[in-house]
Amino acid sequence: MDRFSDHLGFQASVLGLRSRRNNILASNIANAATPNFKARDFDFARAAEKLDPTGPLTTTNKQHIPAARPVGMRDMQYRVPLNPSYDGNTVELAIEQMQFSENVMRYQTSLNFLNARINGLRSAIRGE
């Protein structure tokens, strides 16, 4: 039972990270016209990796394909704009909106996965 609750705990933590990232991206979008505002984000994969009790993926054979690892700073980081603005604002609205939309879809997918796990456990308890 502890392993199952640990697995649910991991999924709940991932949802928390997704929610935190949504807030950060929404803040970036809201400040798109604020002079000298610096767009921020964090490396979700690295943050989720810290939560995963199974650890990172490794290869055990030279014929295995290694997992791609994102390169970046830990925790919060500033975005480097593709097209810098004259007022010092680094928010690129199209990129922020795309990141926000992707994160919302992934949040909903994680939530659906967690709900399916809970419903499966509920069915097992009822003996269905």
Please indicate, yes or no, if residue 61 is contained in any of the structural domains.
Answer: no
Which structural domain, as residue segments, surrounds residue 82?
2-55+66-126
What is the residue whose two structure tokens read 């807030």? 23
- Tens-digit pLDDT profile for the chain (128 aa)? 566 665 577 778 888 889 999 999 999 999 999 999 999 998 888 887 777 655 555 667 777 665 544 433 457 888 888 888 899 999 999 999 999 999 999 999 989 988 888 888 888 888 87
Q: Write the burial class of residue 100 (CB in 10 Å: 0-12 exposed, 13-18 middle, 19+ buried).
A: middle
Give the count of domains, the chain. Answer: 1
Please indicate, yes or no, if residue 76 is contained in any of the structural domains.
Answer: yes
Please indicate, yes or no, if residue 60 is contained in any of the structural domains.
Answer: no
Please indicate, yes or no, if residue 114 is contained in any of the structural domains.
Answer: yes
What is the Cα–Cα distance from 119 to 125, expressed in whole angstroms?
10
Measuring CA to CA, how many Å separate 3 from each of 8, 43, 63? 9, 27, 32
